Chain A
Amino acid sequence: MPIANIQVSETPLVLFTLRRADDALILGHRLSEWCGHAPTLEEDMALANMGLDLLGQARELYSYAAKVEGKANDEDKFAYLRDVRQYRNLLLVEQPNGDFARTMVRQFFYAAFADLYWRAMMQSKDATLAAIAAKSEKESAYHLRHASEWVIRLGDGTEESHRRAQTAIDDLWSFTGEMFAIDDSDRGLIDAGIAVDPAPLQPQWLKTITAVANEATLALPASNWMQQGGRSGRHSEHLGHLLSELQSLQRTFPGATW
């Protein structure tokens, strides 16, 4: 018997919080897939650590979304009992790990954004979101530094590592525009000082990306054509596969607890 998905009342604040929570959960899950497979032991720990930070951010955000929604949902139900079309994360974070260069470029693009975004969100008039932002900002700063160092090392490394890092940049570039897009649901929150408009952060993001890419001898694509859809539940085919693994236990043994 299929297990029913939960229904979510996506008021603007619930939707806003779920979008951030989904970003963190999905990227954190992707990083956890590296556990035991990273190129070195130290890197294995680094990827797991970053994944854990993101999972922690996701839990706090899901718990807050549940509180705001005020229904019977909780952090576990949001994670385990929503289907692909109900997930609101960026397309970027669900992209497969690929090789190590691709994972690091994805992390670099996201962390450079998250670092700026959470720092700005510390001024949110919503005290809980501001507090979550204060933690996430510091964690994102560590992730950004780590990913930047790897992008430089890979780009300015061997011919092979350069080729892989450049391919990753070219392939993932069209997923970066979505980070700076907003919709009608966000607009009211931005006007109320609860959410931050990400669009003005884009020049600073690009500056960081450009500086690291230059040092890494990597080129940024000229194309400005950007993919969108994740924020409204239109995902790439990869998210379904990810969720089928993430949710397999709850879907097979509904309500199972440790």
Chain B
Amino acid sequence: MVTAVISDADLRRRAWDAAAQVVDPEIPVLTIADLGVLRDVVVQDGRVEVAITPTYSGCPAMNMIALEIELALEREGIRGPKIRTLLAPAWTTDWMSEDGRRKLKEYGIAPPLPGSSRRALFGQQQVACPRCGSEDTELLSEFGSTSCKALWRCRSCREPFDYFKCH
């Protein structure tokens, strides 16, 4: 029997590709790669370690995401990966990919305004309605259905919508 020798680089690429497909359980159109939650995959002596970073401190999706990564790697035949949580550097919405922003908007959630600086946190916010594109919108509640979202309403099409807050 011939056992194919898998190089660490190959294994790393396969592990990354598998982990990158894992989606946020609360926002299933976004993968953890889109979100910038997937930080690194390291392979050492055939052992895989996946580094992820939490979004909001209390985000309950993190445990679920870690479990989903393990399952995704398992499906690729990669057993017993270590999932490491990286706190530094701290995650920011600026890490969300362009593709991720587009997918969010198509899903009906207004993407975070770029620039997670305090100005973006506290400055004049102009959030465009993800449905009709109007900028005539208003904030209903600073805190929405998950830690990362606020509740807004469009004055043009009258639809309420979620806004992914700057962090």
Contacts and interface: CB of A to CB of B under 8 A. Distances in A.
A57 B89 CA distance: 16
Range of interface residues on B (Cβ < 8 Å) = 20 to 34
B124 to A, nearest CB: 13
Interface string A134-163: 111011011001100000000000000000
Nearest to A41: B141
A131 interface: yes
B77 interface: no
Interface stretch (B20-28, B29-37, B143-151): B143-151
B167 interface: yes
A23 interface: no
Contacts of B141: 42-43, 45-46
A53 B147 contact: yes
A50 B88 CA distance: 22
Contacts of B122: 141, 145
A127 B89 CA distance: 9
B31 to A, nearest CB: 22
B5 interface: no
Interface stretch (B6-14, B56-64, B65-73, B99-107): B56-64
Range of interface residues on A (Cβ < 8 Å) = 20 to 34
A210 B121 CA distance: 22
A191 to B, nearest CB: 23
Nearest to A144: B122
A172 interface: no
Interface of B: 54, 56-60, 87-91, 116, 118, 121-122, 140-145, 147, 151, 165, 167
The 10 closest A-B pairs by CB, nearest first: A56-B58, A56-B57, A131-B88, A134-B90, A131-B87, A42-B141, A52-B58, A46-B143, A49-B143, A57-B57
15 contacts: A42-B143, A45-B141, A45-B143, A49-B143, A49-B147, A52-B60, A52-B147, A59-B57, A59-B58, A60-B57, A130-B88, A134-B90, A135-B54, A141-B121, A142-B142
